[in-house]
């Protein structure tokens, strides 16, 4: 027997009410549900915190990218690349002077999946029955599953894409000549190939079925792949288009296939430019942290750590090479810096890059404590993401319960209109939808 989408207790088509009344009733009840309002408020709070953590992490990552090389005693080294499609930058490792032949054979790509073309992005797909779409990647310890709940409140192409984005997936609706498709993008690397499935509503099961042979409602438009790079004939692979272990002390950024020569040379003339770049990056980080300050922000604690690291460096040593400290800002006296480099470039290099005690080394270590593997901001972001997924699960359960409530009320309204007794009253005046929502 077919079941009515808005009344699981009655045969399909038995309400005798306009088809759009059920969804409207469910929408009204959902909007008024106090538990859903509380969950939505918690989601907004979690999203705001996650955005703040992301902003801080990005600021710290930008500082580390520009200063990491100085922390490894690379202040007086220069990197050059001949050939297009490849960039190289000093990182926190010690870079040895030399020449390296780099051949980029393949770039890392992210898998892209697309649904079949539909005529509308806003039309309901199926009956609105509760459905779970699962997107799985990886295996073993690296396995990850994202579950997306779909029901009568979001069972359109646009609604599904939004629900996927809310769950942390990269999904969007694209306009095609013949209609609309939902595009789902994964992360780069072969191990991040997505496995998509749906359980519940048959129409969504069909739309989100995927077969490597092209069967099903999903098709692959781009396959996931690893980057392949040879350095002096030795092959390296990476799930991203950045490699930091192919050449010690360097991070390679891949932009296109081809062959290039990478050179690392000692160049004391680079010391002054690198010091000035460091000071600029330091001041930019300070400005970003100040903007992110609030009662609940970790920015204040990070600022305190930076001040502590600065306090451990003798200000007279900094002044001797032209570096001034003014509160949370640094300044450079170019003439004094040039004179210090000419007199003893090794001393300047040591003041910045000596392991454990150099200024750049201390600050990069502080940054790594926040955004390195297992760092404080990394762990907080993971915790917030887990909390958000749990809130989405709670919302899905409450939404399903409210939809069932709406279905039952629809059935009771029909029974009342027909003169039958209802759970909501006797067989007197027929119940209207205004009574239901009262």
- pLDDT value at position 396? 81
Look at the pTM and tell me if it is higher than 0.75.
Answer: no
What would the DSSP string read from start to end of 339-368?
Answer: HHHHH-HHHHHHHHHSTTTSHHHHHHHHHH
Q: How far from the centroid of its chain's Cα atoms is residue 12's Cα?
A: 42
Q: Cβ contacts of residue 409 below 8 Å, gap of 6+?
A: 25, 424, 436
Q: How far is CA 400 from CA 151, 152, 393, 395, in A?
A: 7, 9, 11, 8
Beta bridge partners of residue 425, listed in sequence order: 422
Residues 11-20: contacts with CB under 8 Å, at least 24 apart:
14/411, 14/414, 15/410, 15/411, 15/413, 15/414, 16/414, 16/417, 16/418, 17/410, 17/413, 17/414
Widest Cα–Cα separation across the chain: 102
Q: How far is CA 106 from CA 5, 136, 198, 229, 246, in A?
A: 50, 25, 33, 7, 15
Give exposure, 171-204, as e/b (b: 16+ Cβ within 10 Å). Answer: bebeeeeeebbbebbbbbbeebbbebebebbebb
Please give the CATH architecture assigned to the domain spanning 110-222. Sandwich (2.60)
Query: What 3-state class would DSSP assign to 318?
Result: helix
**pLDDT tens digits, 281-330:** 999 999 999 988 876 788 888 999 999 988 888 889 999 999 999 888 99
Instruction: Please provide the average confidence, as pLDDT, over all residues in the chain.
Output: 85
Segment of 132-141, 147-156, 186-195, 308-317 carrying the highest mean pLDDT? 186-195
Q: How many CA atoms lie within 13 A of 435 on its CB side?
A: 14
**pLDDT tens digits, 173-223:** 999 988 999 999 999 999 999 999 999 999 999 999 987 666 789 999 999
**pLDDT tens digits, 354-394:** 777 888 888 888 898 998 888 888 888 888 888 888 888 88
Judged by average pLDDT, the poorest of 2-16, 27-41, 160-174, 352-366 is 2-16
- pLDDT value at position 100? 96
Judged by average pLDDT, the poorest of 24-28, 123-127, 336-340, 383-387 is 24-28
Mark residue 220 as left, alpha or beta (left: phi above 0; alpha: psi -120 to 50; beta: remaining).
beta
Residue 69 has pLDDT above 80, yes or no: no
- How far is the C-alpha of 340 from the C-alpha of 161, rounded, in Å? 59
- pLDDT value at position 252? 96
Residue recorded with tokens 């509308």: 120
Residue 425 has pLDDT above 60, yes or no: no
Q: Predicted confidence band at 16 (pLDDT cuts at 50, 70, 90)?
A: low
**pLDDT tens digits, 214-241:** 678 999 999 999 999 999 999 999 999 9
Nearest CA to 4 out of 428, 416, 409 is that of: 409
**pLDDT tens digits, 266-286:** 888 788 888 888 899 999 999
- C-beta of residue 275 within 8 angstroms of C-beta of residue 352: yes
Domain boundaries, the chain: 3-32+381-437, 50-76+267-370, 110-222
Judged by average pLDDT, the poorest of 249-253, 303-307, 343-347, 351-355 is 351-355
Q: Cβ contacts of residue 254 below 8 Å, gap of 6+?
A: 85, 86, 104, 107, 108, 227, 229, 241, 242, 243
- C-beta of residue 310 within 8 angstroms of C-beta of residue 325: yes
- What sign does the dihedral 366-371-377-380 (CA atoms) show? negative
Nearest CA to 94 out of 70, 116, 110 is that of: 70
DSSP 8-state code for residue 309: H
DSSP 8-state code for residue 425: B
- pLDDT value at position 240? 96
- What sign does the dihedral 217-222-226-228 (CA atoms) show? positive
For 339-364, what is the mean pLDDT? 85
- pLDDT value at position 292? 85
- pLDDT value at position 234? 97
Q: Predicted confidence band at 433 (pLDDT cuts at 50, 70, 90)?
A: low
Q: Predicted confidence band at 416 (pLDDT cuts at 50, 70, 90)?
A: low
Residue 29 has pLDDT above 90, yes or no: no
What would the DSSP string read from start to end of 74-139?
Answer: -TTEEEEEESSSEEEEE-SSPPPSEEEEEEEEE--BEEEEEEPPBS-SSS--SS---EEEEEEE--
């Amino acid at each position: 027997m077919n079941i009515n989408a808005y009344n699981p207790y009655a045969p399909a088509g038995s309400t005798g009410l306009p088809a759009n009344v059920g969804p409207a009733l469910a929408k009204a009840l959902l909007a008024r549900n106090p538990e859903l309002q509380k969950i939505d408020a918690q989601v907004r709070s979690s999203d705001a915190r996650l955005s703040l953590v992301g902003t801080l992490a990005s600021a710290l990552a930008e500082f580390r990218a520009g200063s990491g090389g100085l922390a490894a005693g690379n202040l007086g080294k220069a990197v050059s690349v001949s050939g297009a499609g490849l960039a190289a930058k000093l990182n926190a490792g010690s870079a040895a002077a030399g020449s390296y032949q780099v051949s980029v054979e393949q770039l890392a790509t992210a898998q892209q999946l697309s649904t079949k073309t539909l005529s509308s992005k806003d039309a309901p797909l199926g009956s609105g029955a509760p459905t779970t779409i699962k997107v799985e990647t990886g295996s073993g310890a690296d396995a990850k599953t994202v579950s997306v709940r779909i029901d009568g409140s979001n069972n359109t192409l646009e609604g599904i894409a939004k629900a996927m984005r809310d769950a942390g997936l990269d999904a969007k609706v694209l306009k095609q000549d013949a209609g609309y498709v939902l595009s789902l993008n994964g992360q780069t690397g072969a191990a991040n190939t997505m496995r998509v499935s749906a359980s519940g509503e048959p129409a969504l099961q069909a739309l989100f079925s995927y077969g490597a042979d092209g069967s099903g409602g999903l098709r692959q438009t781009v396959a996931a792949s690893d980057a392949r790079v040879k350095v002096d004939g030795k092959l390296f692979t990476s799930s991203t288009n950045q490699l930091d272990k192919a050449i010690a002390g360097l991070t390679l950024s891949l932009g296109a296939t081809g062959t290039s020569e990478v050179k690392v040379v000692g160049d004391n003339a680079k010391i002054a430019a690198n010091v000035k770049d460091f000071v600029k990056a330091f001041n930019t980080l300070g400005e970003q942290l100040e903007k992110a300050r609030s009662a609940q922000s970790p920015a204040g604690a990070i600022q305190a750590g930076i001040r502590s690291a600065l306090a451990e460096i003798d200000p007279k040593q900094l002044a001797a090479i032209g570096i001034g400290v003014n509160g949370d800002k640094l300044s450079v006296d170019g003439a004094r810096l040039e004179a210090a480099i000419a007199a003893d470039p090794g001393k300047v290099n040591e003041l910045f890059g000596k392991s454990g005690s150099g200024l750049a080394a201390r600050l990069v270590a502080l940054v790594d404590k926040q955004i390195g593997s297992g760092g404080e901001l990394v762990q907080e972001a993971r915790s917030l993401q887990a909390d958000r997924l749990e809130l989405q699960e709670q919302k899905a359960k409450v939404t399903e319960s409210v939809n069932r409530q709406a279905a039952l009320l629809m059935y009771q309204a029909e029974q009342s209109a027909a003169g039958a007794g209802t759970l909501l009253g006797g067989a007197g005046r027929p119940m209207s939808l205004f009574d239901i929502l009262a």
